[in-house]
């Protein structure tokens, strides 16, 4: 049976949401992100891209390149709401789908062509999303995830494209090698130095040559350039979660100690989210008292993986749950409703310095271990002394957090 894999991507998602809220922003150059000079562009409208603006660049530079652009800080709760709306429509319409980020989806329509016609079915789904949410969305349909994703990129903005079976290589051949997923700036530069610019050049190269230059990634790029990809659609589930808890040797009412442990737990789980390229949309705190009565409270939040967003919300849940008259035996936290995704949705709340700090902290943890760098607020003096240190007996790096 031929595979039929659908890829759907909400066009300039944050920008589209803002335009739904305020119709005056239609067709105007728009930047969503940190509004100060030290902020970062989280999303930009197509009108700004001709000026060289792109997501991830400093807001100061973006405003210099496109001074007439309207700058909006953004609201993650609004974007999360619309993401849930689209997810619910897709969940009702297709048998198996994967939510690869807050604005990107895959669906396996294999076998449905016998009854409906997969292209017609995908078209009806796209039109329903547009009608019920007002959001523009594009799709690509082909035999696998990679070709469908590239096809979606070619279909944008707000359009659709089907690549018939057997035409994958001819579709990819004239495109820039940068259009192949996993070809970043560095890899592209290496390939350009070899005289490789178009996909058709890679298609004619022996796979051994690509492997000798780029290692395992070279083989992956060669397969993708030839339209070969057997990656399955991973069914989406709201139940996926990660959690941690701590049982005390002696029950305690030391609030400073409890808050410090919660902060350290949150940091560790947030790092696990970023390392796994995940975002959470639901957090929970659990408390078990000395009488073994256990209480928990959870709250839905905008998708995030950022410590400085998660920690205050965890502490607020703890404040609501905590009963000062009882000794605490156990505390725990859980992040659920996980979806694949990167840090982009938080960019409008951060500066370049904050993003660089997260990258540096995560690099240290990757190299020396999860507890090698911690916030000072997550530690007490006794805790520091007891911790395992990977730095040849030296204490871990401790960050004293200062509010911007």
* 360 plus 287 within the same structural domain: yes
Each residue's pLDDT tens digit, 30-86: 999 877 767 888 899 999 999 999 988 888 899 999 999 999 988 877 888 899 899
Residue 404 domain flag:
no
Identify whether 366 is a catalytic site residue: no
* 8 plus 125 within the same structural domain: yes
Average pLDDT, the chain: 84
Whole-model pTM: value is 0.70
* 76 plus 204 within the same structural domain: no
* 89 plus 60 within the same structural domain: yes
* Domain-terminating residue out of 125, 141, 164: 164
* Domain-terminating residue out of 141, 164, 187: 164
Phi first, then psi: give them for residue 63, nearest 5 degrees: -70, -30
Please answer whether residues 330 and 247 qualify as being in contact, where contact means their C-beta atoms are separated by less than 8 angstroms. Answer: yes
Q: Taking 50 as the threshold, does the pLDDT of residue 399 lie above it?
A: no
Given this model, what pLDDT does residue 395 score?
A: 41
* 312 plus 249 within the same structural domain: yes
Q: What three-state secondary structure class fits 272? A: helix
- Total domains, the chain: 3
Domain that holds residue 229: 166-235
Given this model, what pLDDT does residue 10 score?
A: 95
Given this model, what pLDDT does residue 8 score?
A: 97
Q: Which of 18, 47, 98, 104 is catalytic?
A: 104
User: Where residue 270 sits, what CATH number does that domain have?
Assistant: 3.30.1490.100
Q: Taking 80 as the threshold, does the pLDDT of residue 345 lie above it?
A: no
Each residue's pLDDT tens digit, 171-215: 999 999 999 998 988 899 999 998 899 999 999 999 999 999 899
Given this model, what pLDDT does residue 370 score?
A: 56
Beta-strand (E) ranges in 226-338? 241-252, 278-289, 294-304, 328-336
Residues whose CB is less than 8 angstroms from the CB of residue 118 and which lie 6 or more positions away in sequence, other chains included = 4, 6, 109, 112, 141
* 220 plus 246 within the same structural domain: no
HSE-CB for 1 with a 13 A CA cutoff:
10
Could you tell me which of 340, 5, 344, 342 has the C-alpha nearest to residue 151? Answer: 5
Q: What three-state secondary structure class fits 318? A: helix
**Rg from Cα positions in the chain:** 24
Could you tell me which of 280, 282, 272, 278 has the C-alpha nearest to residue 341? Answer: 278
* 115 plus 202 within the same structural domain: no
Residues 89-115 have a mean pLDDT of 88
* 309 exposure class (CB count in 10 Å sphere: 0-12, 13-18, 19+): middle
Residue 79 domain flag:
yes
* 143 plus 7 within the same structural domain: yes
User: Where residue 225 sits, what CATH number does that domain have?
Assistant: 1.10.150.20
Please answer whether residues 360 and 384 qualify as being in contact, where contact means their C-beta atoms are separated by less than 8 angstroms. Answer: no
Q: Whole-angstrom Cα distance, residue 105 to residue 116?
A: 20
Q: What three-state secondary structure class fits 397? A: strand
Could you tell me which of 265, 312, 310, 269 has the C-alpha nearest to residue 287? Answer: 265
Each residue's pLDDT tens digit, 225-270: 999 999 999 887 655 789 998 888 889 999 999 999 999 999 889 9
* Domain-terminating residue out of 114, 141, 164: 164
Q: Whole-angstrom Cα distance, residue 96 to residue 85?
A: 17
Q: Whole-angstrom Cα distance, residue 201 to residue 216?
A: 19
* 197 plus 146 within the same structural domain: no
Strand partners, 282: 300, 336
């Amino acid at each position: 049976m031929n595979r039929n894999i659908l890829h759907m991507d909400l066009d300039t998602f944050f920008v589209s949401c803002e335009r739904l809220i305020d119709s005056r922003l239609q067709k105007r150059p728009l930047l969503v992100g940190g509004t100060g000079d030290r902020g970062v562009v989280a999303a930009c409208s197509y009108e700004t891209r001709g000026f060289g603006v792109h997501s991830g660049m400093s807001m100061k530079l973006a405003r210099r390149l496109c001074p007439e652009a309207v700058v909006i800080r953004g609201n993650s709760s609004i974007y999360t709401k619309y993401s849930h709306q689209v997810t619910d429509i897709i969940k009702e319409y297709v048998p198996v789908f994967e939510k690869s980020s807050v604005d990107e989806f895959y669906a396996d329509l294999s076998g449905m062509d016998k009854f409906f016609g997969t292209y017609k079915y995908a078209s009806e789904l796209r039109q329903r999303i547009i009608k019920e949410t007002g959001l523009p969305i594009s799709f690509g349909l082909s035999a696998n995830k990679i070709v469908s994703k590239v096809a979606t990129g070619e279909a944008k903005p707000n359009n659709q494209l089907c690549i018939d079976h057997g035409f994958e290589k001819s579709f990819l051949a004239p495109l820039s090698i940068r259009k192949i997923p996993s070809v970043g700036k560095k890899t592209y530069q290496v390939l350009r130095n070899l005289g490789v610019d178009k996909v058709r050049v890679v298609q004619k190269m022996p796979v051994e040559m690509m492997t000798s230059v780029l290692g395992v990634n070279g083989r992956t790029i060669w397969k993708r350039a030839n339209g070969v990809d057997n990656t399955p659609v991973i069914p989406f589930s709201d139940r996926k979660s990660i959690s941690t808890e701590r049982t005390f040797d002696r029950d305690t009412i030391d609030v400073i100690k409890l808050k410090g442990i919660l902060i350290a737990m949150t940091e560790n789980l947030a790092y696990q989210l970023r390392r796994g390229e995940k975002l959470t949309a639901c957090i929970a705190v659990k408390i078990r008292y000395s009488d073994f009565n256990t209480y928990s409270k959870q709250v839905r939040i905008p998708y995030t993986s950022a410590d400085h967003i998660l920690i205050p919300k965890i502490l607020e849940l703890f404040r609501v749950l905590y009963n000062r008259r009882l000794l605490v035996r156990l505390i725990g936290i859980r992040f659920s409703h996980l979806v694949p995704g990167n840090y982009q949705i938080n960019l409008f709340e951060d500066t370049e310095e904050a993003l660089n700090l997260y990258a540096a902290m995560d690099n240290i943890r990757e190299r020396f271990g999860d507890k090698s760098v911690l916030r000072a607020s997550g530690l007490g003096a006794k805790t520091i002394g007891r911790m395992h240190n990977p730095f040849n007996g030296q204490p871990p790096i401790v960050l004293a957090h200062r509010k911007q």
